[in-house]
Structures are given as structure tokens and as C-alpha cells.
């Protein structure tokens, strides 16, 4: 059974979506070096010779009485072979031991002759890595270039890391179960079989049948409810597999802007609407002004249950966020601006492999701070960036600057789980490198224009740092001429391939007016004998959250403080020590642990019981494990009580910290 040329029309692969407005002359696309296909060591698939034109998922979700539910699926892959004979008669997809495949088949061309059920193909799952397996499918014969194939795979997704099942107790409302998927980096291979590599982009659609009383949402450009509790989704722009996401739960929505709504469990929807009503559109408009058209149609935000392991996840059209963002005062909107920034950097221009993750996150941090500067001004943005720099400092102190993960381009060897390489370097060192490029240009609006041209040049593509930097030098020929890529100490190659503290740091001094008072106050609190008069003269009641965060970072850096100081600080500032804001709670808990303030250990416990964000959870377990006997006991006690609520990846990282699993 062979599907001949032109069975059905194949859509064009590249360059769809509205064109970005051009602010500066752009180098001829042909002048930009042609890219070699990228090998992704984290994918078991034979994606190379294929284009995935479209993926359709037919899903049925049901909830068991307790614990895990069931996800039964059929994936239909519409493929075009791009190279003769490549890969022989075998096609390999990424999958996972938790994905039970019952059948693979080759469908006849639509409308053509042949059995509609298709021709069953031999299929075998083979080990690949700790985080996935390889699904070998034997085709009737080696395909030829240009040939179109439609494969269907019937499967059931079990207890894999990509599909999370929550019991009613693990939700905010505590009434109904909930399921969500998290794809980045390599988890979606336990949700559906695919080319699970960011180097491959495709459009997708899905139908999802859910039980009565539940709603399904996905990262898709269109959403429609049909009869029988079946939801239909279409993503009309090509995206990588990691951006496909699904939630099924008792969720409702409320409008917060002309193209935005918030989704949350009914008990959170009022708070969610209040937090972001009328503010999202401005972020989008500023983003469009800076980086070009927003191509995704809607921008909605879904507030996840407390165990969601990230602050935010940029699933296109529908950002997933932690409910910790519901601070009541919009103070954590930087996370939303960050995820919106991925609409251009990450979702439109995508890292071709996880070793180039800084292209997603470093450019996004830069874009986030550009938007923030336009909306909130430079001083505030520099203050926020200073707290980011403190995170990078903490990370590099903990790992040693020379750690191989402290370079922008990470070598991910076969067998290494890309998720295990996650750290602050791609974010904050990446931010420094992009800031350095802007510094080389020396003119903000010229650099903004470059970013817009960059997005326009590489939109809907997956690229490497060589593409980015090649384009930069083509765009600014006078800089290329000057050899800015090889200035001693600042070589582009050094930035990418040498671990260590960034050789260039952007000037954050415009934030001094906000940072200075916090630094001075921290000095006062670190003194051996406290100058209470000077301390009481400082009124922190009017400080913004990030000023307090910055202050606490300073205190943490100086900790342990002289005996008794933290206790007094706690008493003096209930705004800090009794804060509900998650960023403040994290820092306060870190201070409590570093100063061995046993009287407030319950705050660490409460915070870890209240949410499961990885970036909050791991630093606290590290601090507890590195602390006193009592702190270690607290770690064990807290982990045994909360482990079932944590995302399985987070669980495993905590186990490593506590020596409960092999490192
Ligand atoms: N894409 C990331 C989250 C992510 C990274 C998930 C790697 C899985 C693997 C997201 O955009 C992110 O960076 N979130 C941050 C937001 C912060 C930098 C403002 C977070 O969750 O803390
Ligand atoms: Zn990000």
C-alpha cells in the first residue's frame, strides 16, 4: 500500500503568518548561511527526512474514582518524506514506556480506494533513555521524496511524567479531579507519540471527549464545544511538540481584555479576573510595537492548581501559570510579561535543540524587560533585573562558576535528560549576552528594530545560536567589519562555549533609587548591635514587592545575621514575615533556614504545603538539607507529607537532594 505523490495537498512548510513590519533594511535571506539539519540527541525519532505537516489527536479523558484517570488516544500524523530512501522502511517516533501503543496503521489517501481502517504496521517500543523510548514502525517500503503518508497510532497514556492527574484534594476547589499536561522539555512523548524535538514544527488539531461537568482547554488558536462534552481545537500555526498542552477540569473563564480571558477553577475566577482585568492588552500592544505582530490570535491565561511546577508556561494562546501569581496587587505580572514575550522568542523563533535553550529564555528575559521598561519604567525594571542577577549569583555560587552548565550552549550528551540541565544561566547569562549585543549596537531603537527583523526572518523556524549571531552580523555589517564577534574577553564563542560569570553586565544603576534604600536597610540589620533609631526611620510600608524582594536578597546574602537580629526583623516587619506573596515567602523561608530560626520553621512547612513550584521547592529543600538536624528533620517530614502532590519531576529532584534516590 503506497500513498503516491499529491494524494492530498500539502500546505507550505515555512513562513506562514502575517509579515512583521520592517524597521530597518534586512539582509537578503539567501545571504544568511543555510542551516544544516540539527541533530537533537534528546530525540529518539527519525524526524530528519520527514516533514510533519499536521498532527491530529483524538482523545478521550476519564477520571477514576481516586487517583489516576485514563487518557485513550489516537494520533494521526500527516507526513511528507523529504529525502529518498532515508531511514529505510522504518519510521521512529518518540514515546515513553508509559504510553501503551495498541496499533499503528497506514491510512489510504482521503477519498481514495483502500480500507478506511488502514493497513496495520509492525510496531515495537524500544528503550532509548530514562525519559523516553523509541517507537519503531515498519513501513511497507522505503518512502520516496515527496511521498505523503498518513499514520495512525492508537494508544493509552498511563502514569507518564507529561500527563498529570490530580485528585480533588489537590485542586483549589477540592470537589473534582483535574488533569493537565506539561510538555517542555521532553515530557510530551508520554502524552502522544511524535517527533518530540523542538527542531520540528507542525500544525495540530484535536478532539477531546471529557466526562460531564468538565471542560477541556488546549494551546490552540480555536476552541469549540460540541455535543457529548466533546471539545474541538485547532492550532493553525506550526509549533513544536512541547507547546501542545491540555487541561481537563472544573474550570470557567472571564474576559480580561479584547483578546484575553482568564481560566481558573470557579473558586479562583474572581481573584483571577481582578488580578489581570484590563492589564494584559497593554503588555500585548507594547510587545507588538517592539517585536512585530502577535500571530497567535488570543492570549489567555490559565491558573493552574497549586502543584503546577512552574511560575508560568508559555503554551501558545493559553499561558499556564501558578496560582501564586494571585497576589492581589498585580505585583507578579513580570511572569505574565515573560510568558507573553515567548510569543515571539521561543514560540515563533524556537531553539532547535535543548542545548540552545538560552535562545528561548535569554531573548525572552530581554524582551520581558523591554516591555517592562515601556510599561513600568527603567528604574523598576532594573530593580527586577537585579533580583534576577542575584539568582544567577546564587546559582553560580552553588555550582561553581566553571560548571559546564554555566555556559550558554550546553552539550546535552545522549542519555542526559534536558530537564536536568535547567538552571538560571540560560535566563540571566542569556539576558546579559543579549544586552551585550544591544550594547554593541549602542542604540536602543536600532536594536529593537534588529529584534523585530530577527523574529520576522526566523518566525516559524527552529534555529541555533549560529543563525542568531550570523543574522546579527549580517544585519549590522559595520559591526561585522569591526570584528565585534572576536573582541578579546567578549568573543561570541566565549559567551556561548565557556562557563562562568557573564563578561558583560548591563548597567542596572537606573534602579539605584529603588535599590539603594534596600541596601542601606540591609546594612543596618546586619550590624552587630542594631541601630534601632536608624532602622525605625526607614518606612518600608510604601515599598513595592520587588524592593522588598531585593532587600531580602541582601539579608540572605549577609546571613546568618548576628544572633537575635532576624527575630527582631521578623517582629518589626510582619509585612515581610507574614507575607502571602510567594516571592516574599520564598525569601523569608530561605532567611529562616539560613539563620536557623526554628521558631519559624512552620512557615517553611506551610509554604511547601501550599504550592509545588520547582523554583521555590528545590532551594528550600537544599537549604534544609544543608542545615541543622532539626532542619533536616523538617525536610523529611515535609517531603513525606507533600510528595504525592508534587510533579513527578520535582519529586525526583527533591529525592536526590535528600539522598533518597541515586544522584
Ligand atoms: N518555559 C519556561 C518554563 C519551563 C522551562 C518549563 C523549562 C519546562 C522546562 C517559562 O517560560 C519560564 O521561564 N517560567 C519562569 C518565569 C520567570 C522566568 C518569570 C518560571 O516558571 O519561573
Ligand atoms: Zn521562559
Query: 641-657, pLDDT tens digit by residue?
Result: 999 999 999 999 999 99
Is residue 5 within 8 Å of residue 146, measured between CB atoms?
yes
The pLDDT of residue 475: 98
Ligand 1 atom at minimal distance to the Cα of residue 346: 1
Residue 309 and residue 349: Cα distance in Å, rounded?
24
Catalytic residue among 427, 454, 546, 653: 427
The pLDDT of residue 113: 81
Is residue 29 within 8 Å of residue 456, measured between CB atoms?
no
* Conformation bin of residue 330: beta by default, left when phi > 0, alpha when psi is -120 to 50: left
Query: 307-358, pLDDT tens digit by residue?
Result: 999 999 999 999 999 999 999 999 999 999 999 999 999 999 999 999 999 9
| Cβ of 455 below 6 Å from ligand 1 | no
Nearest one of 280, 314, 295, 321 to 221, comparing CA atoms = 295
Question: Does the structure show a pLDDT above 90 at 663?
Answer: no
* Conformation bin of residue 372: beta by default, left when phi > 0, alpha when psi is -120 to 50: alpha
Under the banding of pLDDT at 50, 70 and 90, the label for residue 567 is very high
Q: Which residue in the block uniquely carries the three cell numbers 497514556?
A: 157
Whether 339 is a known active-site residue: answer yes
Residue, of 291 and 20, whose pLDDT is higher:
291
Q: How many CB atoms lie within 10 A of CB 90?
A: 13
Specify the DSSP element, H or E, that contains 628: none
| Cβ of 420 below 6 Å from ligand 1 | no
Mean pLDDT score of the chain:
93
Residue 494 and residue 486: Cα distance in Å, rounded?
9
In sequence order, what DSSP letters do the residues of 143-196 get, joined into one string?
A: --TT-EEEEEEEEEE-S-TTEEEE-GGGSSSSSS-EEEE--TTTTGGGTS-B--
Query: 126-162, pLDDT tens digit by residue?
Result: 999 999 999 999 999 999 999 999 999 999 998 899 9
Under the banding of pLDDT at 50, 70 and 90, the label for residue 17 is very low
> How is residue 42 annotated by DSSP?
T
Ligand 1 atom at minimal distance to the Cα of residue 313: 10
Q: Is 118 annotated as a binding residue?
A: no
The pLDDT of residue 38: 74
Nearest one of 563, 574, 554 to 530, comparing CA atoms = 563
Question: Does the structure show a pLDDT above 90 at 629?
Answer: yes
Amino acid at each position: 500500500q503506497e500513498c503516491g505523490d499529491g494524494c492530498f495537498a500539502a500546505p507550505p512548510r515555512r513562513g506562514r503568518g502575517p509579515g512583521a513590519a520592517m524597521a530597518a533594511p534586512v539582509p537578503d535571506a539567501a545571504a544568511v548561511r543555510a542551516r544544516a539539519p540539527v541533530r537533537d540527541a534528546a530525540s529518539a525519532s527519525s524526524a530528519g527526512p520527514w516533514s510533519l505537516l499536521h498532527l491530529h489527536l483524538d482523545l478521550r479523558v476519564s477520571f477514576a474514582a481516586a487517583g489516576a484517570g485514563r487518557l485513550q488516544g489516537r494520533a494521526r500524523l500527516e507526513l511528507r518524506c523529504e529525502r529518498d530512501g532515508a531511514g529505510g522502511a522504518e519510521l521512529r517516533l518518540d514515546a515513553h514506556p508509559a504510553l501503551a501503543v495498541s496499533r499503528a496503521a497506514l491510512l489510504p489517501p482521503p477519498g481514495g480506494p483502500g480500507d478506511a481502517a488502514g493497513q496495520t504496521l509492525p510496531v515495537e517500543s524500544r528503550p532509548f533513555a530514562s525519559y523516553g523510548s523509541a517507537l519503531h514502525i515498519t513501513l511497507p517500503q522505503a518512502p520516496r521524496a515527496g511521498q505523503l503518508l498518513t499514520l495512525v497510532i492508537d494508544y493509552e497514556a498511563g502514569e507518564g511524567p507529561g500527563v498529570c492527574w490530580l485528585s480533588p484534594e489537590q485542586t483549589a476547589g477540592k470537589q473534582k479531579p483535574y488533569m493537565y499536561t506539561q510538555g517542555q522539555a521532553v515530557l510530551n512523548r508520554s502524552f502522544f507519540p511524535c517527533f518530540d524535538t523542538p527542531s520540528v514544527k507542525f500544525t495540530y488539531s484535536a478532539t477531546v471527549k471529557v466526562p460531564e461537568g468538565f471542560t477541556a482547554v488546549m494551546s490552540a488558536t480555536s476552541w469549540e464545544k460540541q455535543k457529548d462534552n466533546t471539545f474541538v481545537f485547532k492550532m493553525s500555526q506550526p509549533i513544536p511538540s512541547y507547546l501542545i498542552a491540555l487541561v481537563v477540569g472544573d474550570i470557567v473563564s472571564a474576559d480580561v481584555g479584547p483578546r484575553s480571558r482568564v481560566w481558573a477553577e470557579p473558586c479562583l475566577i474572581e481573584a483571577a479576573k481582578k488580578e489581570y482585568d484590563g492589564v494584559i492588552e497593554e503588555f500585548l500592544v507594547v510587545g507588538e510595537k517592539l517585536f512585530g505582530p502577535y500571530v497567535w490570535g488570543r492570549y489567555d491565561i490559565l491558573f493552574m492548581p497549586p502543584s503546577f511546577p512552574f511560575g508560568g508556561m508559555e503554551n501558545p494562546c493559553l499561558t499556564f501559570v501558578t496560582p501564586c501569581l494571585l497576589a492581589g496587587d498585580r505585583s507578579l505580572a513580570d511572569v505574565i510579561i515573560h510568558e507573553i514575550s515567548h510569543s515571539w522568542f521561543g514560540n515563533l523563533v524556537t531553539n532547535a535543540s535543548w542545548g540552545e535553550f538560552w535562545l528561548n529564555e535569554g531573548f525572552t528575559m530581554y524582551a520581558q524587560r523591554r516591555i517592562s521598561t515601556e510599561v513600568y519604567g527603567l528604574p523598576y525594571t532594573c530593580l527586577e533585573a537585579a533580583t534576577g542577577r542575584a539568582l544567577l549569583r546564587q546559582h553560580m555560587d552553588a555550582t561553581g562558576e566553571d560548571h559546564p552548565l554555566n555556559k550558554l550552549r550546553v552539550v546535552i550528551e545522549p542519555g542526559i535528560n534536558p530537564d536536568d540541565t535547567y538552571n538560571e544561566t540560560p535566563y540571566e547569562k542569556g539576558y546579559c549576552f543579549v544586552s551585550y549585543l544591544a550594547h554593541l549596537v549602542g542604540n536602543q531603537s536600532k536594536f529593537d528594530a534588529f529584534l523585530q527583523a530577527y523574529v520576522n526572518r526566523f518566525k516559524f523556524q527552529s534555529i541555533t545560536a549560529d543563525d542568531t549571531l550570523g543574522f546579527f552580523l549580517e544585519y549590522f555589517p559595520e559591526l561585522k567589519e569591526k570584528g565585534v564577534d572576536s573582541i578579546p574577553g567578549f568573543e561570541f564563542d566565549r559567551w556561548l562555549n565557556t562557563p562562568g560569570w557573564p563578561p558583560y553586565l548591563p548597567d542596572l544603576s537606573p534602579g539605584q533609587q529603588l535599590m539603594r534604600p534596600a541596601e542601606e536597610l540591609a546594612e543596618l540589620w546586619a550590624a552587630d548591635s542594631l541601630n534601632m533609631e536608624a532602622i525605625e526611620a526607614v518606612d518600608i510600608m510604601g515599598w513595592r514587592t520587588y524592593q522588598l524582594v531585593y532587600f531580602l536578597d541582601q539579608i540572605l546574602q549577609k546571613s546568618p545575621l548576628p544572633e537575635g537580629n532576624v527575630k527582631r526583623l521578623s517582629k518589626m516587619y510582619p509585612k515581610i514575615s507574614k507575607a502571602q506573596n510567594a516571592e516574599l515567602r520564598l525569601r523569608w523561608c530561605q532567611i529562616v533556614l539560613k539563620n536557623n530560626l526554628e521558631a519559624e520553621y512552620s512557615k517553611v512547612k506551610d509554604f511547601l504545603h501550599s504550592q509545588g513550584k520547582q523554583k521555590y521547592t528545590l532551594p528550600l529543600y537544599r537549604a534544609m538539607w544543608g542545615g541543622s538536624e532539626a532542619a533536616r528533620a523538617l525536610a523529611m517530614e515535609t517531603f513525606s507529607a507533600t510528595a504525592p502532590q508534587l510533579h513527578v519531576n520535582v519529586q525526583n529532584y527533591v529525592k536526590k537532594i535528600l539522598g533518597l534516590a541515586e544522584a
